[in-house]
Amino acid sequence: MFQIPSLDDLLARARAAFRTYLKGSDAWSWPNNIYASAKVIAGMAFEVFGFASYISKMIFASTAPDIETLRLHGAEFGLPQLPAGPGEGNVIFTTDDAIGVETSATLQRADGAVYLVVTPGSLPGAGTLQLSVIAQADGAASNVVEGTPLVALSGVTASGSYTIAVAAGGITQGIDVEDKESYRQRILFRKRNPPHGGSASDYVIWARQISGVSRVFVERLWAGPGTVRVFFFMDGIYPDGIPDAAAVTRLQNYIETVMPAGSLLTVAAPTPRPIDVIIRNLMPDTVRTREAVLTELRAAFLRLGRVAGQDTVHGGMPYLASPATFSLSWIYQSVANAADVDSFDLDFPVVDTPLKVGETAVPGTISFV
């Protein structure tokens, strides 16, 4: 592999070249114009080498240094970077008298985020009114947990007093623009797994074309010939990455538009299997060490978690939903890897945790005793 010379190396080469081709000159001595000329030449050559290094990284998707270059790689396969999307959900108006809410009525969160009412509604008297809303701005920051209070800026007419709060399930589905590494992995997966008219890898590619879908597992022939079941996660959007019914329906509807006509598709959310962890005699037992252990454990469940299924185990297709367990050794290793941990005892679990079909391991209650 070609090693790009350092600036000092290039400067030494330029000085040596002056001594060789311009007899009697000495680019090492100051002051003289040859000394300055050697520095200028070395600097220009170093810039050229730096640009050549940048170009060499742009050639491959695995080393592309910026999102603009990755977009060029993705465009060759028809894989655009996934855009941001607004949060959606329901809010509840609780009123002591008549109220009317118009389409596109604006509601505001305490931090200034604005939501628009999608479906209008009214009440002739006291009661509760549930309406759909969508965030005015895109991004995960538009998501809101259940119970968050909102205030009306416009489009609400009320005879009495009322309150507005986010309904059960919260406002979800707000998604940031796909980050560089996620986009890179999609492009590399597409390069390594060319379309095969409905192979298992095709379903992974199709599923990940929906914003927010992060991990996908495919179960072939799960209910007989021609049947395919797709499990997926939306990490960072839903707790433990497990999507809600609306997200499942949205993905099902999309894949049905691109899959082979002879297949019968089922899209499902994984079933969470909480695994409780009890750690005894943590040394040193400090808040900082406990937080480090929690961080490592959550990262392990995210990195090593998969969906169990009835498909065949295949080393070349790690995305198949095949029989799986969550290994006890992974928990040991995660705790031991946490920063500042000197020693500990693991009281629970004591054996590997087998997963049933459709289940995925998620962190349960993590206790320190």
Vertex 29, ends 27 and 31: CA angle to 5°?
105
Alpha-carbon 13 to chain mean position: 47
The sign of the CA dihedral 195, 200, 205, 210 is positive
- Report whether 243 contacts 211 (CB < 8 A): no
The contacts of residue 155 (CB under 8 Å, 6+ apart) are 101, 102, 103, 104, 105, 106, 117
Residue-level pLDDT at 356 = 97
If you search the block for the tokens 């949060």, which residue do you land on?
Answer: 87
Q: Is pTM beyond 0.85 here?
A: no
- pLDDT truncated to tens, each residue of the chain (369 aa)? 667 888 888 888 888 888 787 776 777 777 777 878 888 898 999 989 888 888 889 999 999 999 999 999 999 999 999 999 999 999 999 999 999 999 999 999 999 999 999 999 999 999 999 999 999 999 999 999 999 999 999 999 999 999 999 999 899 889 999 999 999 999 999 999 998 889 999 999 999 999 999 999 999 999 999 999 999 999 988 889 999 998 999 999 999 999 998 899 999 999 999 999 999 999 999 999 999 999 999 999 999 999 999 999 999 999 999 999 999 999 999 999 999 999 999 999 999 999 999 999 999 999 999
How crowded is residue 37: how many other Cβ atoms within 10 Å of its Cβ? 16
Residues in the chain: 369
Residues 213/214/219/225 CA torsion (nearest 10 deg): 40
In CATH, the number for domain 86-166 is 2.40.30
The third-level CATH classification (topology) of the domain covering 193-268 is: GMP Synthetase; Chain A, domain 3 (3.30.300)
Q: What is the C-alpha to C-alpha distance for residues 103 and 177, in angstroms, rounded to an integer?
A: 28
Residue-level pLDDT at 2 = 66
Q: Which of 264, 232, 271 shows the shortest CA–CA distance to 250?
A: 232
- The two beta strands, 325-326 and 353-354, are antiparallel
Phi, psi of 43 (to 5 degrees): -65, -40
What are the sequence ranges of the domains in the chain? Answer: 7-58, 86-166, 193-268, 271-368
Q: What is the C-alpha to C-alpha distance for residues 130 and 93, in angstroms, rounded to an integer?
A: 6
What 8-state DSSP symbol labels residue 118? S
- The two beta strands, 264-268 and 227-233, are parallel
- Report whether 185 contacts 204 (CB < 8 A): no
Do 86-166 and 193-268 fold alike per CATH? no
Q: Which of 302, 184, 195 shows the shortest CA–CA distance to 242?
A: 302
Q: Which of 222, 196, 210, 191 shows the shortest CA–CA distance to 256?
A: 210
- Report whether 244 contacts 238 (CB < 8 A): yes
What 8-state DSSP symbol labels residue 171? B
